[in-house]
Amino acid sequence: MMSLNVVYATETGHVVGALALTGPAPAAPVLADLMGTELPLPVTLRDGRAVDLAVAATRLAAAAVGDTRGALAWPMRYGVERVDGVPRPRLAQLTRWRSTDKPVAVRADGVTVSVTEAVTAPTPVFVLLTGGDGSSVPLSGAIPAGATGKTLPVSLAEGPYGVLTLIAGWEGRLDAVSLP
C-alpha cells in the first residue's frame, strides 16, 4: 500500500510537493522534516535563465493522504480539503485550465488573476513573483463573491519574472513573463 505526504499552501489548499511512501499510512508529517525554510519551485524565465520561486514555510503545511493517481507527477492539480482546519485524508482534483484561458496578467502596477466563471464565495489567491535577480514578491488576496477576478497591487521593475499563481479550486500555475 502506498500513501503520500504532501506539502500544501495553507491559503489556497494547493499541493505544491508530494512524497510517496510505502507501507502503512504514517502519522501526520512534520513540515520541517519534509523541507527547510522554503520550498523552491523551478521555472525558466523568458530570457532562458532558471530561477526558483521559493515559497516560505510559513505559508505551507504538511499532511498525510492516501495515494492519489497523478499527484506525484502534477501536484498542483490537486488540493487539500480541510474540515475545521484538519486536512482530509484524500486530495481533491482541482479545476483544469483550458489552453485558451489567461488566468494571470502581470503589469508594472499590479497582477490580475481571473477565473472563467463568477465565484460564489470569496476565493483565496496567492501569487509569488520572482525576478531574474532572485528577489521575490508574495501577494495575497481574494476574488470577491460574484466576481471573476481580482487585481493585486504591486510595483514591479522591468525584466523577466517567474510567476506562481494559486487560486483556490483551480490548478496551480507556473508561468514566465517579461515586463517591457
Dihedral angle, C-alpha 111, 148, 101, 138, nearest 10 ° = 30
* pLDDT at site 180: 87
DSSP-derived letter for residue 76 is G
Q: Is the pLDDT of residue 97 over 90?
A: yes
The CATH number fitting domain 104-179, selected from 1.20.58, 2.60.40, 2.60.120, 2.70.98 = 2.60.40
* pLDDT at site 2: 64
Nearest to 96 by CA among 172, 10, 8: 172
User: Could you report the per-residue pLDDT of 34-72, keeping only the tens digit for each?
Assistant: 888 999 999 999 999 999 999 999 999 999 888 788 899
Q: Is the pLDDT of residue 160 over 90?
A: yes
Name the residue ranges covered by the structural domains of the chain: 2-36+57-93, 104-179
Measured in degrees and rounded to the nearest 5, phi and psi for residue 90 equal -120, 145
Distances (CA, A) of 106 to 31, 38, 114, 174: 31, 24, 12, 13
Mean pLDDT score of the chain: 92
Secondary structure (3-state) at 38: strand
Q: Are 152 and 138 in contact (CB under 8 A)?
A: no
Interior angle at CA 10, CA 130 and CA 162, nearest 5? 15
> Taking residues 3-31, what's their average pLDDT?
84
Q: How confident is the model at residue 23 (pLDDT cuts 50, 70, 90)?
A: low
Measured in degrees and rounded to the nearest 5, phi and psi for residue 77 equal -85, 0
Report pTM.
Answer: 0.92
